[in-house]
Amino acid sequence: MKHKFVGIDLGSSNLIIYLPGKGIIYNEPNIVAVNQMNKKVVATGYLALKILGKEPESVSVIKPVNRGVISSISMQTLMIETILKEKKHKNLLKNANLIISVPSEMDEVNILSVKKIAKNFDAKSITIRTQSYLALLGCESSDTSSRGNLIVTIGGGCSDISVTSGIKLLISRTSSFCGHDIDVAISRHLRKKHRLIIGEKTAEYIKMKIGSLEQFPENRLLEVSGRDLVTSLPNSIVIATMEIKQAITPTLTPLIESITDCLEITPPEVASDIIESGIMICGGSALLGGMREYLESNLNITVRVLGDPTYAVINGIKNLIHQGISKK
Ligand X SMILES: Nc1ncnc2c1ncn2[C@@H]1O[C@H](COP(=O)(O)OP(=O)(O)OP(=O)(O)O)[C@@H](O)[C@H]1O
Told to check if 64 binds Mg ion by CB under 5 A, we report no
Q: Which does 14 bind (CB under 5 to 8 A by kind): ligand X, Mg ion, none?
A: ligand X
Single residue of 155, 211, 289, 290 touching Mg ion by CB under 5 A:
155
Q: Can residue 29 be called a binding residue for Mg ion (CB under 5 A)?
A: no
Which residues in this chain contact ligand X in the complex, by CB under 6 A? 11-14, 65, 68, 131, 155-158, 178-180, 204, 207-208, 283-285, 287-288, 310
Pairwise CA distance, residues 32 & 35, whole Å? 10
With CA atoms as reference, report the closest residue to 148 among 244, 30, 267. Answer: 267
* Minimum distance, C-beta of residue 46 to ligand X, in the bound complex (Å): 13
Name the one range near Mg ion by CB under 5 A: 4-12, 173-181, 209-217, 236-244. 4-12
Contact 159, 251 (CB under 8 A): no
Element containing residue 10 per DSSP (H, E): strand 5-10
Give the shortest CB-255-to-Mg ion separation in angstroms: 14
Q: What share of the chain is helix, strand, coil (3-state, %, to 5)?
A: 40, 30, 30
Check residue 11 for interaction with Mg ion (CB under 5 A): yes
Nearer to ligand X, 270 or 310 (CB): 310
> Using CA atoms, how far apart are residues 151 and 173, in angstroms rounded to an integer?
11
Go through the chain and tell me how many residues it has.
328
Q: How far is the CB of 312 from Mg ion (least distance, A)?
A: 9
Q: Which is nearer to Mg ion, 102 or 210 (CB)?
A: 102
Measuring CA to CA, how many Å separate 87 from each of 26, 82, 111, 194, 219?
A: 9, 9, 27, 45, 44
Q: Give the contacts of 210 (CB within 8 A, at least 6 positions apart).
A: 220, 221, 222, 239, 240, 241, 244
Q: Which does 157 bind (CB under 5 to 8 A by kind): ligand X, Mg ion, none?
A: ligand X
Least separation in angstroms between CB 105 and ligand X: 13
**Number of residues this chain uses to bind Mg ion (CB under 5 A):** 2
What residues make contact with Mg ion under the rule CB under 5 A? 11, 155
